[in-house]
Structure 1
C-alpha cells in the first residue's frame, strides 16, 4: 500500500514592507508585491509589480539577489507552478520588463513618475467618471516606495506629487486612494 502525503502550501499574511521568500511561487490573494534587485550602489532596480490574482515566480528570472517585498498588506499562498503558470509568468515578466525599461528612460523624473502612476492606473486602477482611482490596499504607496520603484529620490517624488496636486492632475481621496485625472495611456500597453 502506498501512502501519499499532500504537500502543504504556505499561506502568509504580511504587512507592507516585509519580505517574501523569492525562491517560491506565490499567488497573490490580496495586496501588491514588488520584485527588485539591489545594485552595488544600494539602489533598487525594479523588475516587476504584481497584484491580486496574479502569480509571481521570481526564481524563473534566473538572477541572484532578488528581493520580493510587499508594497501593502498582503495575503499570499504558495503554489505548485505548472508549465502554463511558468509560461504566463515569463510572458508577463517580459512585458513588465519592457515597460519598466521604457519608463527608466523618461526624462524629466517628474514625467517618469506620472507615467508610472498612469501604468499603475492601467494595471490596478478603477475607472470612474472623474478619472482612475488607484489604491494599494489600505492606502497609496509611500513616497519612498514610489521613489524606489521609479528610480528616483523621495524628495523628487514628494515635489512632483505636490506639483501634480496643485495642477489638478491628481487628487487624494477618502480611504487613502489617489484619483488620476488623466486618461490611462495606451503607449505602455
Structure 2
C-alpha cells in the first residue's frame, strides 16, 4: 500500500495570484493560469492564457524570467513530459504566442480589444449561434489583466469596455458574463 501512495502524482490546489513552482510541468485540471515575463522597465509581457486540460511548463524556459501565475483557484497535477508531449506543448505554446502577437500588433485599440475578447471567448468561453459568451469574472480577468494581454493600458480597456456595452458590441448576460454578438 505504501508503494502505491508514493506513485501518486503530486497534485496542488492553488489560489489566485499564487505562482506555480518553477522548473516543472503541470496538467491543469481546473482554473486558469497566465504565463508571463517582464521587460526591463518591469512591464508585464503576457505569453499565454491556459485553461482546464492544458499542459503548462516552466521547464527549460526560452524566456527569462517566466512565471506561471494563477488567475483563479486552480488544481494542477505534476507530470513528466515525454518527447511527444514536449513537442505538442511547444506547438500549442508557439500557436498561442503567435495569436497573442498578432492581436497585439493590431493598430486600432478598439479592434485589438474586441479581437482579444473574441480570442479568449473562442478558447475559454461558450460559442453559440448568437455569438461568443465569456465570463471575465470566472477567468478572473481584470481590466489590468486584459490590458497586459493586448498591450493597452487599464484605463483604455475600461473606457473601451464601457463604450462597447453602450454601443451594443458587447452585451451583458447575467451578472458578469459578456456576449460578443456574431458579426453579420
| Alignment TM-score, normalising by the size of structure 2 | 0.88
Inter-CA distance 77–137: structure 2 relative to 1 (3 Å threshold) = farther
In the alignment, structure 2 segments of 5+ residues that lack a partner are none
CA contact (8 A) 1:71 1:145 kept: no
For 1:176 and 1:12, locate their aligned partners in 2 and report how far apart those are by CA, in whole Å. 28
User: How many correspondences in the alignment?
Assistant: 181
Query: Superposition pairs for residues 34-113 of structure 1, below 5 Å?
Result: 34-113=34-113
For 1:154 and 1:108, locate their aligned partners in 2 and report how far apart those are by CA, in whole Å. 16
CA contact (8 A) 2:118 2:180 kept: yes
| Alpha-carbon RMSD | 2.1
Match of 1:29 in 2: 29
CA contact (8 A) 2:31 2:139 kept: no
For 1:4 and 1:160, locate their aligned partners in 2 and report how far apart those are by CA, in whole Å. 54
In the alignment, structure 1 segments of 5+ residues that lack a partner are 184-189
Cα-to-partner distance string for 1:69-127 (whole Å, 9 max, x where unaligned): 11222111111112121111000111111111111111122221111111112211212
Cα-to-partner distance string for 1:110-156 (whole Å, 9 max, x where unaligned): 22111111111221121223211113673651111111111221101
For 2:27 and 2:38, locate their aligned partners in 1 and report how far apart those are by CA, in whole Å. 23
Task: Compute the displacement of 1:159 (Å).
Answer: 0.4
Query: Superposition pairs for residues 1-189 of structure 1, below 5 Å?
Result: 6=6, 9-135=9-135, 138=138, 141-174=141-174, 176-182=176-182
Inter-CA distance 139–35: structure 2 relative to 1 (3 Å threshold) = closer
Task: Compute the displacement of 1:64 (Å).
Answer: 2.1
Cα-to-partner distance string for 1:44-76 (whole Å, 9 max, x where unaligned): 111111111010113243232111111222111
Inter-CA distance 141–100: structure 2 relative to 1 (3 Å threshold) = same
Say which is worse superposed, 29-38 or 168-177, in terms of deviation: 168-177
Inter-CA distance 175–162: structure 2 relative to 1 (3 Å threshold) = closer
Secondary structure of 2:59's match? Answer: helix
Secondary structure of 1:78's match? Answer: strand
